[in-house]
Amino acid sequence: MTESFSSRLNVAMAFRNVKQIDFVHAAEKFNIKLGKSHMSQYVSGKTVPRADIAHFLAAFLQVNEDWLMGKDVPMEQNAVILPAIESDETQPDSNSASAQSTEGKTMRTFTKSHKLDNVLYDVRGPVADEAARMEAAGTHILKLNIGNPAPFGFRTPDEVVYDMAQQLPETEGYSPSKGLFSARKAIMQYAQLKNIPNVSIDDIFTGNGVSELINLSLSALLDNGDEVLVPSPDYPLWTACVNLAGGTAVHYICDEESEWYPDIDDIRSKITDKTKAIVIINPNNPTGALYPKELLQQIVDIAREHQLIIFSDEIYDRLVMDGLEHISIASLAPDLFCVTFSGLSKSHMIAGYRIGWMILSGNKRIAKDYIEGLNMLANMRMCSNVPAQSVVQTALGGHQSVKDYIKPGGRVYEQRELVYQMLNEIPGVTAVKPKAAFYIFPKLDVKKFNIHSDEQFALDLLHDKHILISHGGAFNWQNPDHFRVVYLPRITMLKETISEIADFLSTYHQA
């Protein structure tokens, strides 16, 4: 608990850019007894504060008190409640995050919306914040936490850059809200190749990445209390956007013992009369799983039986290895309403250009009203990035440079082979071989390492070896026994990094 409290305190202080002395000064104003030595003991983990001091620290840092004390709850809090200031100061202290008193009048402070109460996006959360703080202090951090190909030397195909440059002068204005005709036509033809049924050009929406469309599609659908089945582990934006839209993300388990495939019985057991939709992520982030046709068929059967919308996130569909084929679930469900998401961030290594799309297919009659809502929200954001739309046709046609990465001898393939082998050689670590994408989700032997907090594990690895990974909890995985590695770095760097993780784990025993 002590260890946990001090690291949370350090993370929150880095996050809010607060120094130890700031607490001491603020405490004076609130007539709270808090000396420099107390603060340094809390920060170093020698002691934990009494309840009233903990309350003050949490309020000053604007974090959830339970989180600060090491509990498994979100970091953020809404209300900031501090005792009234008994001070003759008239100038508000810019470091103080609390309600300020000016001539006896309590000033209003601004907290974030309650809509964010259940929203968590920890892939870029406190551990990444701590890494940013260390970087700012001059420490080099090796980041294996975000699937961003460009920093690891994955270059955008020349033709894509050339074509965007050529078209730049013609892409200054807004496009139609769903996107340029040429882009949507190319996506429509792509849908035909994937056997996605009943797709016209009007059924294609481009977006500023798949991210924007995940948010848009859930905002247009959900009323308060509606339930959506989301995988665990998941790409956490899905859970966050369901909750942000007022819905409830109900997690179904993906089974590590079965290649990380969704557990069909678990899906069935989680359906209620409030369930409106099921999300699948195929190929999967964070596990790298690729779902076979029989499994997809079983999911379709459930969706049919319970009249659910299928949302299928297929952004990694062109990053499939071992000669396997990706099957779009929508191709198996012509009688259901499906929304299929993909984009160019990963397959064309242009995550920064921000271009993705969603394809409506199958039985669109049952979703007429919902589609009106989608149109309304798409219109409200005018359109997606037009220069990026202008390269969709080029990107989806002709030679697919990504294919060179995923065959034997290609970078993604060879990096996967290495990372899979090296991780499995570490005592206390096991990992299922990913079939697609560029992630692996290894399991830690929690007994061997005495791990009770995966976030703490990530922080310890960061502090000790300057390696940033994402803890399993960031992917809505309930047990503290997994972490995700992005295996985008080159072989030499990966070798070094995984050896460092092995070295770290050879003595690791969580306090």
Ligand X SMILES: Cc1ncc(COP(=O)(O)O)c(C=O)c1O
Q: Give the interface with ligand X as residue ranges (CB under 6 A).
A: 147, 209-211, 235, 281, 285, 313, 315, 343, 345, 351, 356
Contacts of 113 (CB under 8 A, 6+ apart): none
Q: What is the DSSP letter of 496?
A: H
Nearer to ligand X, 353 or 508 (CB): 353
Cβ proximity to ligand X, 29 vs 348, nearer residue = 348
Q: Which helix (H) or strand (E) holds 303?
A: helix 293-306
* β pairing state of 337-343 and 429-430: unpaired
Tell me the CA end-to-end span of the chain in Å, nearest whole number.
Answer: 9
Q: Computed over its alpha carbons, how large is the radius of gyration of the chain?
A: 25
Task: Output the residue with the shortest Cβ distance to ligand X.
Answer: 209
Closest contact distance (angstroms) between CB of 276 and ligand X is 20
What CA–CA distance (Å, rounded) separates 71 from 100?
29
Q: Are 357 and 214 in contact (CB under 8 A)?
A: no
Nearer to ligand X (CB atom), residue 147 or residue 480: 147
Q: Say how far apart CA 419 and CA 467 lie, in whole Å.
A: 15
Closer Cβ to ligand X, 313 or 454, answer by number:
313
Amino acid found at 175: S
Calpha distance 504→416 (Å, rounded): 21
Give the integer Cα–Cα distance in Å for 249 and 3: 32
Q: What is the DSSP-derived secondary structure letter of residue 228?
A: E
CA angle 351, 357, 360 (to 5 degrees): 160
Q: Report how far residue 78's alpha carbon sits from residue 67's, in angstroms, rounded to the nearest whole number.
A: 13
Q: Measured between alpha carbons, how far is residue 96 from residues 17, 24, 56, 234, 308 in Å?
A: 11, 11, 12, 37, 49
